[in-house]
Amino acid sequence: MVTPYGILNRMRRGRTLTRDEVWSVVAGAADGSWTDVQLGAFLMAAAMRGLDPDETRELTLAMLESGDRWALAAEFGPLVDKHSTGGVGDTVSLIVLPVLAACGVSAAKLTGRSLGHSGGTADKLESIPGVRLDLDRAGALDLLDRFGMAIGIATGGIAPADRRLYGLRDRTSTVSSIPLVVGSILSKKLALGASGIVFDVKTGNGGFFPDVEDTRSLASSLVSISAACGTPADCVLSDMNQPLGRWVGHAAEVREALDFLAGDGDPRLFEVVAAVCRKASRLVGAATAQKDIEAVIATGAARQKLIDWADAQGAEPGWTDALDLAPVEAVVTAAGSGFLEAVDCRRIGNAFADACRPDRNPNRIDHAVALRYDVRLGQKVERGQELARVYVRRDPERLRSEVAAAIVIGERIKAPPAVAE
């Protein structure tokens, strides 16, 4: 008989769990038959000894089967999903889906909220006045039929076991376990049921894993476990040693996405967008080249896709002109002359997250708080030169000083590429 005690005892002795044992853990998380103490012990054992690929696959499948499966591609036809491991100033998802849709590659994404120092796509999109992000299967299919793209927050029926385990991971210091991260991400990605998934895995100090080897291990595991579960996948490794775009902030990043889709895009951001689009397209047997991306931007087709999606989701008329910045500004200037040597991207992300929630209420976000980032690693700067500008409602010095402390002026360096090999 499979029991919590027996499973935990096997893990303590370093034994590999069978399929039935892994599924028993997940069933216990979903139906409440495993206590928080028992699940916490499982998570700690998994984090300390690791899970092998078979165990990770079974954990993923069990969490997937604990809830609803939308299987969108089975009904709609070929479509891709895109997932980012989270970054700072990361507007890639807001841009990639409308670009792909305008290029004839249908795309869908169930998105999440901010996590730690990383901004969530859902929070950014909710800065659009009136927009609704609740999405069920019928709504996703309708959006795909009308616009070739669908974005939203999933119903509570998807991967309910993961929700309980996810909450306990934060309390048991097991958030950074790669097998647990992979199982959590994929159980929700696979539930959507795309034909293929492309992962944008962030590297550098602003990534989920600052260590490059951990980052590569995560990317490899996401791709291989997804394939083992029956869904082809690919990944892009993108640099997060500095904010990716020119802006950090919920409303500001939506504005930046609109500007990008109007032809005013940062070159580093364009490089990541192009890499993700190319790999996403290949997963469904299509080909999206740089000239195709440039064409749908030049004609306005991609920007219109984003606008049409938002309008369909209840955005107020004229919303593209209503993405305001907070009114109080403060400037970050260079303390000396030299070169931009380093940026503590995680520190900037954490400072921004705090500034967005001045009353510490996680359910109240000031979408207008923003940071404009004006320089790039390796760039020569002069004493007193403006490096960044913050926008808040009060106490600008707090955010300004955090951003200033995160920027190091020093020796000339070779800036890392936006997309790593």
How is 86-130 classified by DSSP, letter by letter?
A: --SS--HHHHHHHHHHHTT--EEEE----BTTBPPHHHHHTTSTT
| Active-site pick, 57, 117, 124, 188 | 188
C-alpha span between 112 and 186 (Å, rounded): 13
Identify which of 156, 83, 174, 71 has the alpha carbon closest to the alpha carbon of residue 120. Answer: 83
Neighbours of 394 (CB within 10 A): 10
C-alpha span between 216 and 198 (Å, rounded): 15
The answer to whether 81 and 109 have CB atoms below 8 angstroms apart is: yes
Catalytic residue status for 169: yes
| Active-site pick, 57, 169, 303, 347 | 169
Q: What residues have CB less than 8 Å from 123, skipping those under 6 apart?
A: 113, 114, 250, 365, 367
Bridging pattern class, strands 338-343 and 407-410: antiparallel
> What 3-state class would DSSP assign to 373?
strand
| Active-site pick, 83, 117, 250, 389 | 83
The answer to whether 408 and 334 have CB atoms below 8 angstroms apart is: no
Catalytic residue status for 311: no
| Active-site pick, 81, 90, 123, 162 | 162
Tracing tokens 């959590």 back to the chain, one arrives at: 184
Q: Which two tokens stand for residue 151?
A: 């974005």
> What 3-state class would DSSP assign to 233?
strand
Q: Which two tokens stand for residue 308?
A: 């049409």
In order of 248, 253, 276, 300, 324, the CA distances from 264 in angstroms are: 16, 13, 19, 12, 19
C-alpha span between 404 and 388 (Å, rounded): 8
| Active-site pick, 106, 114, 118, 184 | 184
Catalytic residue status for 195: no
Catalytic residues: 83, 162, 169, 184, 188
